Amino acid sequence: MKVVAIILAAGKGERFGTDKISLPLGGKPIWQWSFEAFLRHPLVDSVGLVGPATISHPKAFFACAGGASRQESARSGLAHCEPDDIVLFQDGARPFVSADEITRVVEAAKRSGAAGTAITMRDTIRKSGSHDLVDRDELMAMQTPQGGQASLFLKAHEASTGSSTDDLDLLHQVGIAFELVEGSASNFKITTKEDYERAKMVVGAMETRTGIGFDIHRFSTDSARKLWLGGIEFPEELALEGHSDADVVLHAITDSILGAAAMGDIGQHFPNTDPRWKNCDSSVFLQHAVSIVGAAGFELVNIDVTMIGEKPRVMPFAGQIRARIGELTGISIERIGFKATTNEGLGSIGRAEGISAFAVATLRFRG
Ligand code: CTP
Ligand code: MG
């Protein structure tokens, strides 16, 4: 006895408008999400694919063509199973099936012969074309996986003359009982373009990237220079040396943002040999970094920075610095951490020869 999952991916996507099943979602085709979810599940022995010839995977137990209806496609996949297998039918258009849902269906199928996931209705339901409400407590929305003893499904498919979009319905038609287990709203099916947009948002929220930035500048002997830290001017304090305004805090943040998107570093984008950046306000660098990572599909989630220096005392200005970084990056002040520490007199920073800063930034992929 094996547990065999069958990914159904042979639909035409009529309600979607085009062939949806191989559209990209977070760097892989939609169908591959559920394929991989079953592949890595400890209770699943093998995973087969029913779909067009363009769909294949080196780890697929089988890959075969589907039929004109979902039912026919399920039957094509079933032909690769042994009667004593537990078969699990999964819509390839449901990328977010969870391990728990798979576990629940396998356990219930072993217990009861067959099982599938369903969710209760949350909205009030009205019959289309009438003003009558339907009691939502009498309704369940069916999801996948659905499955059970392959012998039961072989028998039900054999007997069926119609076409059902529900695997358990075939069993029901021949009087075979099944168990319903809890599904989840997250395991939604990509049926329309709006569902696809939602799926991309879910993937974006799952994928975050973190970048680190570091910078160090020595104090300047040039009395004409001004000290800038975190986008704030400290006119009374000793300035830092540098090609630009030498704002170590903004430089570290800029590098952390570029780093999170693997888009190089500040020196690459603003070479210190380029006269355009001479004495430049570093807010230009930071804004540019936010803008180019934004164009690449990333949204800034948060920034945290630690400045290390014996002087000046900057913590009284932390609120102002965070507000300025917020203005430059477009994120709210609660998403911006700013801290400062001395170097306890140790090393070059400890001898007050300069100031350094570390920053981390998190980006979310928005696609
Ligand atoms: N499916 C299949 N073979 C078919 C029809 C559907 O394998 N002949 C699969 C789909 O690829 C999908 C699942 O079964 O993964 C059912 O989801 P659905 O949203 O109905 O997909 P489509 O049938 O492609 O879409 P539509 O009904 O809008 O045409
Ligand atoms: Mg369909």
* Residue 186 CA from chain centroid, whole number: 13
Q: How is 83-124 classified by DSSP, letter by letter?
A: TTSEEEEEETT-TT--HHHHHHHHHHHHHHSEEEEEEE--S-
Closest atom of ligand 1 to CA, residue 69 = 8
Segment holding 31, helix H or strand E: helix 30-39
Range 79-88 average pLDDT: 98
Beta-bridge mates of residue 24:
29
pLDDT one-digit tens code per residue, 288-297? 999 999 998 8
pLDDT of residue 206: 79
**Closest ligand 1 atom to 189 CA:** 19
> What pLDDT does 27 receive?
83
Task: Identify which of 25, 69, 78, 91 to mutate to test ligand 1's pocket (most ligand atoms within 8 A of the CB).
Answer: 91
Distance from residue 41's CA to the centre of ligand 1 (Å): 24
Q: What is the pTM of this model?
A: 0.73
The region of weakest confidence among 96-105, 274-283, 305-314 is 274-283
Say which ligand is closest to the CA of 20.
1
Instruction: Please say if the pLDDT value at position 367 is more than 70.
Output: no
- 223 Cα: distance to centroid of ligand 2 (angstroms): 74
Ligand 1 pocket residues where CB is under 6 Å: 8-16, 21, 50, 66-70, 73, 91-93, 189, 191
Ligand 1 pocket mutation, candidates 12, 49, 72, 189, criterion most atoms within 8 A of CB:
12
Which amino acid residue places its CA nearest to atom 8 of ligand 1? 69
366 pLDDT exceeds 90?
no
State the distance from the centre of ligand 2 to the C-alpha of 128, rounded, in angstroms.
Answer: 20
Mean pLDDT of 205-231: 95
CA distances from 255 to 333, 345, 367 (A): 19, 27, 22
Residue 306: per-residue pLDDT: 98
Question: Is 253 a residue whose pLDDT tops 90?
Answer: yes
* Contact criterion met (CB below 8 Å) for 309 and 234: no
Q: What is the mean pLDDT of residues 44-50?
A: 98
Residue 26: predicted pLDDT:
85
Please compute the mean of the pLDDT values over residues 328-357 and round it to a whole number.
98
> Which of 70, 71, 164, 187 for mutating ligand 1's site (highest number of atoms within 8 Å of CB)?
70
Q: Please, what is the angle between helix 150-159 and helix 70-78, to 10°?
A: 130
Smallest CA separation from ligand 1 atom 7, residue: 10
Contact 77, 8 (CB under 8 A): yes
- With CA atoms as reference, report the closest residue to 255 among 243, 267, 244: 267
What is residue 146's three-state secondary structure? strand
Report which ligand 1 atom has the smallest distance to the Cα of 66: 3
Residue having the nearest C-alpha atom to atom 10 of ligand 1: 11
Mean pLDDT for 49-72 is: 97
